[in-house]
Chains A and B, each alone.
Chain A
Amino acid sequence: MKVLMFGWEFPPKIYGGLAVASYGITKGLSLQGDVQTTFCLPKPTGEEEKFLNIINMSQVPVVWREPEYENLCSRLVGHNSGDYYRFRNHIYADFNYLQGLDDLGCIGFAGGYPSNLHEEINNFSIISGVLARSEDFDLIHAHDWLTYPAGVHAKMVSGKPLCIHVHATDFDRSRGKVNPTVYSIEKNGMDHADCIMCVSELTRQTVIHQYHQDPRKCVAMHNAVYPLSEEIRAIEPHKNPDEKVVTFLGRITMQKGPEYFIEAAKRVLDRSHNIRFCFAGSGDMLNAMIELAAAYGIADRCHFPGFQRGKQVYECYKNSDVFVMPSVSEPFGIAPLEAMQCGCPSIISKQSGCGEILTNVIKVDYWDIDAMADAIYSICTNDALYKYLSEEGLREVDQITWEKVGLRIRSCYDQLTGRGWFDVNDYHA
Chain B
Amino acid sequence: MKTICLYFEIHQPNHLKRYRFFDIGTDHYYYDDYENERSTQETAQRSFIPSLKTMLEMAQMYGNEFKVALSISGVALELIEQYAPEVIELLQQLNDTGCVEFLAEPYSHGLSSMGNTECFIEEVKRQAKKMKQLFGRSPKVMRNSSLIYNDEIGAVIAEMGFKGVMVEGAKHILGWKSPHYVYSCAHDNRLALLLRDYKLSDDISLRFNNSTWNEYPLMADKYIGWIADMPEGENVVNICMDLSAIGIYQPLESHILDFIKALPAEAQKRGVKFATPSEVLAANKPVSPLEVIYPVSWNDEERDTSSLLGNCMQRDTFNRLYDEKIVGRILACRDRRIKQDWDRLQASDNFRFMTTKNLMVNNYRGIYETPYDAFTNYMNILGDFLKRVRDLFPDTVENDELNSLYTQITNLGKDVEVKEKEIARLKARLEKYEAKEEALAETPAEAPIAEEPAKKAAAKKPADKKETAAAKKPAAKKTAAKK
Contacts and interface: CB of A to CB of B under 8 A. Distances in A.
Interface of A: 267, 270-271, 362-363, 370, 373-375, 377-378, 381-385, 387-389, 392
B313 A385 contact: yes
A378 B22 contact: no
Given A362-B373, A375-B376, A382 B21 contact: no
Contacts of B380: 374, 378
A363 B315 CA distance: 23
Given A271-B21, A373-B20, A374-B21, A384 B376 contact: no
Nearest to B25: A271
A362 B377 CA distance: 13
A389 B20 CA distance: 20
Given A271-B22, A373-B21, A374-B21, A385 B356 contact: no
Contacts of B375: 378, 382, 384-385
Contacts of B20: 370, 373-374
B370 A382 contact: no
Given A375-B376, A378-B379, A385-B375, A270 B22 contact: yes
A389 B356 CA distance: 11
Given A375-B376, A378-B380, A362 B315 contact: no
Nearest to B377: A374
4 closest A-B pairs by CB: A384-B316, A378-B376, A377-B21, A384-B312
A384 B315 contact: yes
A387 B356 CA distance: 14
Given A384-B316, A392-B356, A362 B372 contact: yes
A157 B313 CA distance: 59
A381 B375 CA distance: 12
Given A375-B372, A378-B21, 17 more contacts: A270-B22, A271-B21, A271-B22, A363-B370, A374-B20, A374-B21, A374-B376, A375-B376, A377-B21, A378-B372, A382-B379, A384-B375, A385-B372, A385-B376, A388-B312, A388-B356, A392-B356
A293 B21 CA distance: 21
Interface residues of B, number: 21
22 contacts: A270-B22, A271-B24, A362-B372, A362-B373, A363-B370, A373-B20, A373-B21, A378-B21, A378-B372, A378-B375, A378-B376, A378-B380, A381-B21, A381-B379, A382-B316, A382-B376, A384-B313, A384-B316, A385-B372, A385-B375, A388-B311, A388-B312
Contacts of B369: 363
Interface string B79-119: 00000000000000000000000000000000000000000
The residue among A271, A378, A383 with the most chain B CB atoms within 10 A of its own CB is: A378
Contacts of B372: 362, 375, 378, 385, 389
Contacts of B316: 382-384
A374 B22 CA distance: 8
Nearest to B317: A384
Interface string B369-393: 1101101110110010000000000
Given A373-B21, A385-B376, A362 B312 contact: no
Interface of B: 20-22, 24, 311-313, 315-317, 356, 369-370, 372-373, 375-377, 379-380, 383
Contacts of A381: 21, 379, 383
A274 to B, nearest CB: 14
B241 to A, nearest CB: 30
A387 B376 CA distance: 14
B155 to A, nearest CB: 30
B22 A267 contact: yes
A26 to B, nearest CB: 34
Contacts of A373: 20-22
A362 B372 CA distance: 7
A385 B375 CA distance: 8
Contacts of A271: 21-22, 24
A270 B23 CA distance: 12
Contacts of A363: 369-370
Contacts of A389: 372
Nearest to B315: A384
B199 to A, nearest CB: 32
Contacts of A392: 356
Nearest to B316: A384
Contacts of A375: 372, 376
A385 B311 CA distance: 10
A385 B383 CA distance: 15
Contacts of B312: 384, 387-388
A58 B120 CA distance: 78
The residue among B312, B316, B369, B383 with the most chain A CB atoms within 10 A of its own CB is: B312
Contacts of B376: 362, 374-375, 378, 382, 385
A1 B196 CA distance: 61
Nearest to A363: B370
Contacts of B24: 271
Nearest to A267: B22
Contacts of A267: 22
B309 to A, nearest CB: 12
Nearest to A387: B312
Contacts of B373: 362
Contacts of A370: 20
Nearest to A270: B22
Contacts of B311: 388
Contacts of A387: 312
A363 B356 CA distance: 15
Contacts of A378: 21, 372, 375-376, 379-380
A387 B312 CA distance: 8
Contacts of B315: 384
A363 B370 CA distance: 9
A381 B370 CA distance: 19
A146 to B, nearest CB: 37
A390 to B, nearest CB: 10
A362 B313 CA distance: 14
Nearest to A392: B356
Nearest to A383: B316
A13 B312 CA distance: 42
A362 B373 CA distance: 8
A226 to B, nearest CB: 26
A195 to B, nearest CB: 32
The residue among B315, B317, B373, B377 with the most chain A CB atoms within 10 A of its own CB is: B373
Nearest to A377: B21
Nearest to A382: B379
A383 B376 CA distance: 12
The residue among B21, B317, B370, B383 with the most chain A CB atoms within 10 A of its own CB is: B21
A385 B317 CA distance: 10
A155 B24 CA distance: 62
Contacts of A384: 312-313, 315-317, 375
A374 B369 CA distance: 15
A270 B22 CA distance: 8
B350 to A, nearest CB: 15
B20 to A, nearest CB: 5
